[in-house]
Amino acid sequence: MADQEPLGREYLLHEEIGRGAVAVVRRATSRNGGPPLAAKLLRPEFAADRRIRELFLREEAALSSLDHPNVVGLRDLIVERGTLALIMDFVDGPNLRRHLSHRGGRLDPSEATAITAQAAAALAAAHAQGIVHLDLKPENVLVARGSAAPSVRITDFGVAVLLHDADRGCGRRHTGLHRPGDLHRCRTHRNGRCVVAGRPAGGDGHPGTRAARRTSCPRR
């Protein structure tokens, strides 16, 4: 099909479904089948911007430790020939801002209560992992279609603060693209250790190609 483009070895990109200041979101599918996905791709004009790349890595680090029905889940991280992309769950529905607009700017009390409760549960799960979203707004709350009761999922953790990493000194010094050919990240796990992973920019983007080593986080 004309609207298909390969992404790594496993994925195909389809139509654009969203656009932000630094990223484009496109519907994606796996070559192996399965449900539709969403690919959040860094726009080419920001490929050389280390600060923007670090926002992507921060979102990947935040989402990889979160597993909650009201948080958009992360499936994969792709780094290939200058392309940086997050593969996430696809939510078929508008953001909360558009959802409100479709309803004349008002929600009935039961729907408003359900949406608030789900968003609060998602934030509580994030806070339990030491993650503070910092950019929660209607545009970052997605409302799924096709359910009798409202079902929402929070997205866009790009500016989240990872409190556990900061407390252990695994912040800016260990996270980011330290040279053009490498991708590094530092994520603190419950056992108090970090995973520092690197992958050449020319890799195929498959998780199995990522070489990882463990190292203790510095203590304060």
- How big is the chain by its Cα radius of gyration, in Å? 18
Catalytic status, residue 135 = yes
Report how far residue 153's alpha carbon sits from residue 73's, in angstroms, rounded to the nearest whole number. Answer: 9
49 in helix, strand or coil? coil
Q: What residues contact residue 95 under an 8 Å CB cut-off, 6+ apart?
A: 138, 139, 140, 141, 142, 143
Q: Dihedral of CA 133/25/39/115: which sign?
A: positive
Q: Which residues contact 44 (CB under 8 A, 6 or more apart)?
A: 82
Longest dimension (CA), the chain: 55
**Which among 92, 135, 156, 165 is annotated as catalytic?**
135
Cα–Cα distance, 192 to 178 (Å, whole number): 23
**Contact partners, residue 41, CB within 8 Å, separation at least 6:** 13, 23, 24, 25, 26, 83, 84, 85
Output the CA torsion sign for 150, 151, 156, 157. Answer: positive
What is the set of active-site residues? Answer: 135
